[in-house]
Amino acid sequence: MKKIVPLVLSAAFVFMAEGAGAQENASALKLAGQYGCTSCHNAEVKLVGPAFKSVAEKYAGQADAVDMLVKKVTNGGSGNWGRIPMPAHPQVGPENTKALVEWVLRGAPSK
């Protein structure tokens, strides 16, 4: 019986952690729609801007990626993905922008 309790607690912790991750992903996906990110970006394929998964691949392992991309979303930018510039999005706010960038860097999971 003593061996079962830690196993059950471990399984419950993993389930709760996965549930929290799914909730974060759903919130970020909602923000992406609310602020128009999905007008120019898609998770899988390039639209006007790069696919979110391409962004995640390009910046994987870069320690400053979150801060750099938060600035780029807030201030806009051009030249990293072609000639079409990304307009500035200061209205998103720093907290929501960071949540969106972290989600994109995770590959923009929907679940």
Q: Where are the domains of the chain?
A: 4-105
Decide if 43 contacts 108 (C-beta within 8 A).
yes
pLDDT attached to residue 21: 74
Nearest 5°: CA angle at 61, between 55 and 66?
Answer: 60
Region 4-105: CATH code: 1.10.760.10
Per-residue pLDDT of the chain (111 residues; tens, 9 = 90+): 555 544 443 444 334 444 567 888 889 999 999 999 999 999 999 999 999 999 999 999 999 999 999 999 999 999 889 999 999 999 999 999 999 999 999 999 987
pLDDT attached to residue 97: 97
Place of tokens 């919130």: 27
Q: Where are the alpha helices (DSSP H) in 35-89?
A: 37-40, 52-59, 65-75
CA 97/CA 94 separation, integer angstroms = 5
Distances (CA, A) of 37 to 2, 64, 67, 83, 107: 50, 22, 18, 18, 14
Tokens of 41: 């970006």
